[in-house]
Amino acid sequence: MLAARRDPVLESMPLGYMAVDGDWRVTYVNAAGEAVVGQSWDELVGSDYWTAFPANVDNEFGRAYREVVATGRPQTIEAFYPEPLNRWFEVHAVPVPDGLTLYFSEVTAQRLAQDRLALLARVGTELTGTLDLAEAVRRIPRLVVPELGEACLLTVLDDEGRPRDLGSWHSDPARRDALTRYASVRLPGMPPTAPVVRALGGETVAADGADVLAALPDAEAHALYRELGAPSVLAVPLPGRDRVIGALTFLAGTGSSAVRVDPLTAREVAGRVGLALDNVRLFARQQQVAETLQRSLLTRPRRSPLGRIAVRYTPAAEAARVGGDWYDAFTQPGGGTTLVIGDVVGHDTAAAAAMGQLRSLLRGIAAYSDAGPAEVLRGLDTAMATLAVDTYATAAVARFQRSEEDAGTGRTRMTLSNAGHLPPLVLAPGGGPVVLPEGPGDLLLGVDPDSPRTEWTVSLDRGTTVLLFTDGLVERRTTDLDSGLARLAATARELAGRPLGVLCDELIERLVQGRPEDDVALVALRLDGRDTLG
């Protein structure tokens, strides 16, 4: 029912007020409501709401109002009302038996400051500790929408200074595909005057939709931006430690649904995002350098006449990607094939440097002396003390030899000495475990050079697989070592019939799922009598 005259009670309310009946006709608006919506009593009362506010037909306001009427549940929407108000309001939509009532309450400066601090805190919390570039890129645009616009695009400069749009998010699910396509085509050919290009140069740039369209030379990008509603934008640089590393482009929307993007908040968010991305990029660069160094120290093994050799190294997923794990495989002067596995205490560049020293020393001792595993480890321990290599390490050395008599039976003798390392896993040709003698448990390297070193020998059939590995393959924070070793044995028996390289890859995939808590190194030999390398 239309109000014939103003109600003194409603007019005295400090809140803006509007009533709409079940046919979506405006039945009342008070003076405070007129000021908020920018239309008068005479223009509104008796009019069709959707005609009076055409922009609301398919925006968040219209969708929310229809949902309130359909469900009977009230909703609150926050929006910025431009000049002459230039203020934020909460619109409370409340269902009534004959339609809908709307209350407009101004959001105070204190409330805006609280919301701003909450947004900054959320951005900081979400990005703290994120050292995966893909994950950071995925999170960032979602963190700031819809508080800072209806959509956001993340642009990052690569190492050659070329911009790439790596992330985007739209508050409207129906427009996310269009935004993704727009991000994939908008940058090529953009002139220096384009907001995002200027932001990449260090400026904070506000522009309306017409200015953005004028800076889009690509016809497809032009069409997609129109499909997005040609919103106004705020483009903000992402400051790194010593240069701009990218930009955030906030899309504010159009018409009454436009969300004001506060430049101060946007710049503070961009500062936190820029620092987080710079940390990710620096970490990724350090990872690459460290892993390249690590792999350069772990050379490809030489071929063996006794069988196929496979080696694998997988760095820890969350560490500095450099550590003390190593493998080796080589032929000694007397013709024996020697496998080595070792682990220096520590997970840093010092551990990697020590690993390189120990690996080279052990190789030199074994190649010069042609000694057995126990003597090689004793010589290494002595060299560490003499040369003041101040570290501790575990290691196992296995030498494989085949005499003329052995060649006739197809058997190979394995001699092993173990300095505090995990025992090897040995699988018979059919996949069953080979029971090995229990060693006395020799001391790890670097403690006492006079500590005795022991060794034992076992005869293995053709087709036997020997696997030496570091503890990253089997140790977990949530389970004990025995459980990890049992799981390794069961998995290896299941995979025993696979080619040696496939066996090694599958063991790593199944036991650590590609994200080991510690470095994983392994070296394996399958005795088959052919001069091959896998």
For position 426, what pLDDT does the model report? 95
3-state secondary structure of 57: helix
For position 395, what pLDDT does the model report? 96
Phi-psi region at 78: left, alpha or beta (left = phi > 0; alpha = psi -120 to 50): beta
Q: What is the mean pLDDT of residues 449-476?
A: 93
3-state secondary structure of 494: helix
Does pLDDT of 256 surpass 50? no
d(CA 288, CA 88): 48
Does pLDDT of 47 surpass 80? yes
For position 528, what pLDDT does the model report? 83
pTM: 0.54
Strand order in the sheet with 465-469: 307-314, 520-527, 465-469, 425-427
Asked if 455 and 372 count as a contact pair (C-beta separation under 8 A), the reply is yes
The answer to which of 215-224, 305-314, 525-534 has the lowest mean pLDDT is: 525-534
Angle (deg, nearest 10), helices 109-127 and 133-144? 170
For position 48, what pLDDT does the model report? 95
Does pLDDT of 74 surpass 50? yes
For position 356, what pLDDT does the model report? 86
The token duo for 261 is: 């993007």
Q: What is the mean pLDDT of residues 365-379?
A: 96
Mean pLDDT of the chain: 85
Q: What is the mean pLDDT of residues 10-23?
A: 91
The answer to which of 164-178, 244-258, 397-411 has the lowest mean pLDDT is: 244-258
The percentage of residues in the chain with a pLDDT greater than 90, rounded to a whole number, is 49
For position 27, what pLDDT does the model report? 94
Q: What is the mean pLDDT of residues 197-215?
A: 90
Which residues are bridge partners to 468 per DSSP?
523
8-state DSSP, 420: B
Chain-centroid distance of CA 522 in Å reads: 26
Q: Confidence band (pLDDT; 50, 70, 90) for 532? A: very low
Does pLDDT of 246 surpass 70? yes
Q: What is the mean pLDDT of residues 342-348?
A: 83
Does pLDDT of 109 surpass 80? no
Q: Which of 102-116, 170-184, 299-313 has the highest mean pLDDT?
A: 170-184
The answer to which of 96-100, 131-135, 219-223 has the lowest mean pLDDT is: 131-135
Q: pLDDT tens across 465-484, in order?
A: 999 999 999 988 778 888 99
The token duo for 150 is: 């209806």
